[in-house]
Amino acid sequence: MPMQKKSSNIIIKGAREHNLKNIDLEIPRDKLVVFTGVSGSGKSSLAFGTLYAEAQRRYLESVSLYARRLFNQMSIPEVDSISGLPPAVALQQRRGGASARSSVGSVTTLSNLLRMLYSRAGDYPKGQGIIYAEGFSPNTPEGACENCHGLGKIYEVTEKSMVPDDSKTIRERAIASWPTAWQGQNQRDILTTMGIDVDIPWKELPKKERDWILYTEESPSVPVYPGYTKEEVQRAIKAKKQFDYMGTFIGAKRYVLQTFATSQSQLMKKRALSFMTGSECPVCGGKRLKKQALSVKFEGMDIAEINRKPLKELQQLFGPYARPVSKKDNPNTDHLEKKLVTQRIAADLDARIEVMLELGLGYLTLERSTPTLSPGELQRLRLATQVHSNLFGVVYVLDEPSAGLHPADTKALLNILDRLKQDGNSIFVVEHEIEVIRHADWIVDIGLGAGENGGKVIYNGPAAKIRDCRESVTAGYLYPETQSAKAKDKPERKPEQWLELEGVHKNNLKDLSVAIPIGAMTSVTGISGSGKSSLVSQVLVELVSAALGQKLEVTAPESGTDLLEQQAPANARGQLIGGLKGIKRLVLVDQKPIGRTLRSNLATYTDLFDPVRKLFAGTPAAKKKRYDAGRFSFNVAKGRCANCQGEGQVMVELLFLPSVYTPCPVCSGTRYNADTLQVTYKDKNIADVLGLTVDEACDFFDKELTISRALETVKEVGLGYLRLGQSATELSGGEAQRIKLATELQRTQNGSTLYILDEPTTGLHPSDVERLMAQLNRLVDAGNTVVMVEHDMHVVAGSDFIIDIGPGAGSAGGKVVARGTPAEISNNKNSRTAPYLKAYLS
């Protein structure tokens, strides 16, 4: 009897996660299934929150007894049953978990292969013994340069860095690195007791005293008489006068190093870092490895040099070695063995790099650290890595893989998804991009609206048939003849002023000059890696903020090593010439998280929470108990739950597995203590209010003007489905960006602001995109300038002006290929954007 090819369906019954309305559906296996619907309709709740979560839970249950014991604490998706579900691999964009020490080489595992190649087939200098593969990694004791511990840089704390102005006295804070406020005064008073003159310029102090103050490892405790002069202290000690307290001195350098190493506060760490100077390690020349490892060569290069080459060049390098070796090549068996090893590793490297090139990532180098990659680039790297994992029978769940991709790159992405499918896998994709939806075998359309108004299956069937589904909003965009999705006519804007950039150098931009219209909407386009972000999010931001004297805010990174990586100074070279008169303020609306802790959420970020807390403090119950507004903050000790300190969750460590958060058992995740929760406003306590969606809160607070106005703007950017207390860690990059936009929109507009946006359509269904465009047009009509990096042709076609960067990626890009109005660009033969744009005009 012939083997029957089994390909049963996945059957889901009673899915109720988040806003899903108890839905039943059947999805085929081994197909490309696209989940669509407007933002907030429940696509992710179905694909990630239900299907992936359940697959993951079953997997953990099967591998780990320890994890099983925790399951009553881990959240189980709200669903009656799922059958036919294969094991799942998620390739998600949010919360990448990329650590600073991970790089393109490590996430793709190409670094492992390269180390093997160098270890087994590298050219060793005469007489040197073989080095094991780990010896080529700067992250192991075997490989790390002993001088810089594998960092490639030496961090020093010097007199110059701690005392930037030596004409100041200690009282005038000559030692800039000392702690601020009282603690700094304390150090000064201790030195006074020790007989050091704190009122003469630093440079006039004897060198021995200066060195002791800066570098001593001693920590003497002495009596302190605050405010006394040197002489008064001496007299007081002689007279055995009672001192205020005993103060302990700490050397200035030690204070800096200790703060950097141990402080819990990112701000303190950052401040400490600013007194450290980093310079290339002289021993390894910044290559991070021991001398012996660097002496091993392949094609005349050490492994660090290879790590700095773009993937594209690596393929040219390894390609020739990948061809099969025959015995005839070389009769010397010893040599043959080495050749065979080289051939095997090179073939593997070649095949893996090939996929990355297909996905348009050929411009990346192996040493590039993952925090500097965009979420889309990282997701595509992970995807490329999967193609060679030889897995089959699994379901890959992806989150908007087209993000960051020019339409010209999207084809390659689809090829890779097809390949994974042909290997016998199921592909589930949450996606808005029309080209990807068109490529699907099967479409699950969730809707109709967002949040409470969504959560239903509008369409579940073969892709082609969605056309007949009258109700589906998505169908209207897939078949625009039934419902026009073309750029609407809009008044033509004729810019009079231009912001001119000249001689720009950054990443792959080499001596680039470009003019950007003021008082207009500009889209910057180009394939992935062409240099759009380098121009817009880096150079333009740096130059304009410097010209305006506006400080750049950097979101605080999580760990000390992240800080070291980020310290790369603002280094865009270039000049701003005209047009600054039209710009008084710069606002960057990017996709960086608005906070990475459970402590920041939608309500706190948009400043909504202050008036809400005041409202609670004003209730009779709160007045009677003398509760002020601070009582209703989960960041203040008096009102919050003491067990979880207001986080609502507690962390559970799992052996060998990532730790998981579970709801705090004391406050059941409400974040507050029982006394605080007794106070209600319109029958809801503060935790209930944080549980409301923006839509619900709009009704609830309809009489409170400040609050409802803020809520309205959040609604207008399509986020009415978010809960007020939704913590920043649960937001996607696109949602974070729209919250920033909403916060900005509710500020009073006086024009003359330059808004810089990074792919604002991420996470947006075409119907949401129209709303976004209306918002942006309103900003421009009010006299502001909008410049954005964008791939969505609907937005690009609707802009006033386009700057197309390219033509290729990396060193093959970085030039202005074309600039002009959408109509002009669509006719430009050199622009790779033109053909896609054309379809949206006319």
Interface residues with Zn ion (CB under 5 A) are 145, 147-148, 281, 283-284, 641, 643-644, 664, 666-667
Verify binding: residue 41, ligand ADP, rule CB under 6 A: yes
Residue whose C-alpha is closest to residue 127's, from 353, 357, 296: 296
Which partner, ligand ADP, Zn ion, none, binds residue 43 by CB below 5 to 8 Å per kind?
ligand ADP
364 near ligand ADP, judged by CB under 6 A:
yes
d(CA 189, CA 520): 58
Angle made by CA atoms 90, 593, 600, in degrees to the nearest 5: 110
Q: Are strands 395-399 and 88-91 parallel, antiparallel or unpaired?
A: parallel
Residue 454 beta carbon to ligand ADP: minimum distance, rounded to whole angstroms: 6
Residue 177 burial by CB count (10 A; 0-12/13-18/19+): exposed, middle or buried?
buried
Residue 18 near ligand ADP by CB under 6 A: yes
Residue (373 or 687) nearer to Zn ion, CB: 687
Q: Residue 531 interacts with ligand ADP (CB under 6 A)?
A: yes
Strands 680-681 and 684-685: antiparallel
Encoded one letter per residue, x for contact with ligand ADP by CB under 6 A and - for no contact, window 181-220 reads ----------------------------------------
Considering only CA atoms, which of 746, 747, 779 is closest in space to residue 760?
779
From ligand ADP, Zn ion, none, which one binds at residue 644 (CB under 5 to 8 Å depending on kind)? Zn ion
Closest approach of ligand ADP to the CB of residue 722, in Å: 5
Label residue 570 exposed, middle or buried (CB < 10 Å: 0-12, 13-18, 19+). exposed
Shortest distance (Å) from residue 639 CB to Zn ion: 12
**Selected binder of ligand ADP within 372, 550, 597, 828 (CB under 6 A):** 372
Residues touching ligand ADP: how many (CB under 6 A)? 31
Provide the minimum distance between the beta carbon of 48 and ligand ADP in the complex, in angstroms, as a whole number.
8
What is the enclosing helix (H) or strand (E) of 395? Answer: strand 395-399
The answer to whether residue 508 forms part of the interface with ligand ADP (CB under 6 A) is yes
In whole angstroms, the minimum distance from the beta carbon of 833 to Zn ion comes to 44
According to CB under 6 A, which one of 15, 27, 32, 43 is a site residue for ligand ADP? Answer: 43
Helix axes 333-358, 375-387, angle to 10 degrees: 130
Q: Which is nearer to Zn ion, 308 or 682 (CB)?
A: 308
What is the CA angle 764-767-771, rounded to 5?
Answer: 85
By CB under 6 A, name the one of 152, 375, 476, 526 that touches ligand ADP: 526
Q: Is 601 in the site for ligand ADP (CB under 6 A)?
A: no
- Angle between the 252-262 and 207-215 helix axes, to the nearest 10 degrees? 20
The C-alpha torsion from 605 through 611 and 616 to 617, rounded to 10°, is: 110
Answer for the pair 436, 403: CB distance below 8 angstroms, yes or no: no
What is the 3-class SS of 751-814, one letter each residue? CCEEEEEECCCCCCCHHHHHHHHHHHHHHHHCCCEEEEECCCHHHHHHCCEEEEEECCCHHHCC
Q: Which does 137 bind (CB under 5 to 8 A by kind): ligand ADP, Zn ion, none?
A: none
Under 8 Å between Cβ of 554 and 566:
yes
- Binding part of the chain for ligand ADP, among 360-368, 558-566, 620-628, 748-756 by CB under 6 A, reads 360-368
Residue 37, binding choice from ligand ADP, Zn ion, none, Cβ under 5 to 8 Å by partner class: ligand ADP
Q: Return the SS3 of 287.
A: coil
Contact flag: residue 312 with ligand ADP (CB under 6 A): no
Site string for ligand ADP, 722-741 (x = CB under 6 A): xx------x-----------
Alpha helices by DSSP H, listed for 178-307, are: 181-193, 207-215, 230-238, 252-262, 266-273, 291-294, 303-307
Q: Which is nearer to ligand ADP, 371 or 495 (CB)?
A: 371
810 binds ligand ADP (CB under 6 A): yes
Asked whether position 459 contacts ligand ADP by CB under 6 A, the answer is no
Segment lying near ligand ADP (by CB under 6 A), choices 94-102, 117-125, 126-134, 527-535: 527-535
Can you tell me the distance from the alpha carbon of 629 to that of 631, in angstroms, rounded to the nearest whole number? 5
Q: Does 685 bind ligand ADP (CB under 6 A)?
A: no
Is residue 432 within the footprint of ligand ADP (CB under 6 A)? no
The verdict on 818 binding ligand ADP (CB under 6 A) reads: no
Q: Angle at CA 195, nearest 5°, toward 191 and 199?
A: 70
Q: Tell me which of Zn ion, ligand ADP, none is bound by residue 18, counting a contact when its beta carbon lies within the kind-specific cut-off of 5 to 8 angstroms.
A: ligand ADP
Contact criterion met (CB below 8 Å) for 401 and 373: no
According to DSSP, residue 97 is labeled -
Scanning 33-41, 248-256, 624-632, 747-755 for contacts with ligand ADP by CB under 6 A, the matching segment is 33-41
Q: How far is CA 388 from CA 31, 166, 318, 353, 356, in A?
A: 19, 60, 18, 10, 11
Binding residues for ligand ADP (CB under 6 A):
18-19, 37, 39-45, 363-364, 368, 372, 430, 451, 507-508, 526, 528-534, 721-723, 730, 810
